[in-house]
Amino acid sequence: MKSADYGQMNKNAAKGMTLVEMVVSFALLSLFVSAAAVVIFNVTNLYYHVRGENYARQVADVVVEKVISEISGAKYNKNFTTANPKIYTSSSAVEQITGEGCVNSAIELYNRTDTKVLIYANSGILRIYYYEITDTRPGYEDNNRKATFWNYDRNVYNNFTIEKMDFAQACDSRNAELAGEYEIGEVPDTSAYDQNVVAVYMRMNSPKYGSFTVCRYVRLYNAPADACTIALTDRVPS
């Protein structure tokens, strides 16, 4: 091998990455990794947020639709006001009736089957209390029914729990107060609603996905739009 060729080979072998080049390369790599981590973190957060909201919406729809089905068919008679819908604002009043309290408020009514029910939330789930039925007519004792509770299986809630539930006559100032309490957004114009409309508020919470709030308006089709009174009370009528 010629000496000139040997010298050129030594020069090629000596070529490599300097310390400065290595530092710059690692710095650029760290910037790239950091930027990628931020993007991945944001995308992951957005995914879980959207998925959590979808889960919450599905559960809320199931629960609220059951409430709406009971309220919309409520009986109303201006000449027999004791049987008309009423809203209890006291947990102690609900406990006096059912033996268990409620979170925030409850609504009592006769549903479309003429059955007296009390709707509220307790222990994180929707509860419907069916009052005792006593037929006093001789020979109709078979129509008697004991008081009972109805609720969905907890698996339906997909680890969400009802944090609180409230009811209000949509045209009443209580509706505006609840809208602020539940942070629905713009305070509703209560004068824009008919008297036979009820607002249903519910806040659910999940340890994984956080809280989700829903507000629905329900029309009582058996009640007059301009002459409907829904009593608001904190005690059980004597």
Answer whether residue 179 is part of any domain.
yes
**Which one is predicted more confidently, 15 or 60?**
60
Question: What backbone phi and psi angles, to 5 degrees, belong to 51?
Answer: -65, -40
What's the sign of the alpha-carbon dihedral 174, 182, 198, 155? negative
Average pLDDT over residues 219-236: 94
Distances (CA, A) of 26 to 22, 23, 32, 33, 37: 6, 5, 10, 10, 16
| Residue 129, pLDDT score | 97
* pLDDT band with cut points at 50, 70 and 90 for residue 46: low
Range of the domain at 166: 45-233
In a domain, 18, yes or no: no
Domain count, the chain: 1
In a domain, 156, yes or no: yes
Percent of the chain with pLDDT over 70: 82
Please indicate, yes or no, if residue 96 is contained in any of the structural domains.
yes
* Selection from 105, 112, 116, 109 nearest residue 84 by Cα: 109
pLDDT of 37 over the 80 cut: no
Is pTM, for the whole model, over 0.85?
Answer: no
Per-residue pLDDT tens digits for 112-137:
988 999 999 999 999 999 999 877 77
Mean per-residue pLDDT over the chain, rounded: 86
Q: Has residue 33 been placed in a domain?
A: no
11, pLDDT greater than 70: no
Q: Is residue 15 part of a domain?
A: no
With cut-offs at 50, 70 and 90, classify the pLDDT of residue 25.
confident
Residue 104 to residues 88, 168, 202, 224, Cα–Cα distance (Å): 9, 11, 10, 27
Residue keyed to tokens 């879980």: 48
Q: Is residue 128 part of a domain?
A: yes
- Residue 77 pLDDT > 80, yes or no? yes
CA separation (Å) from 178 to 43, 101, 173, 174?
A: 34, 20, 9, 6
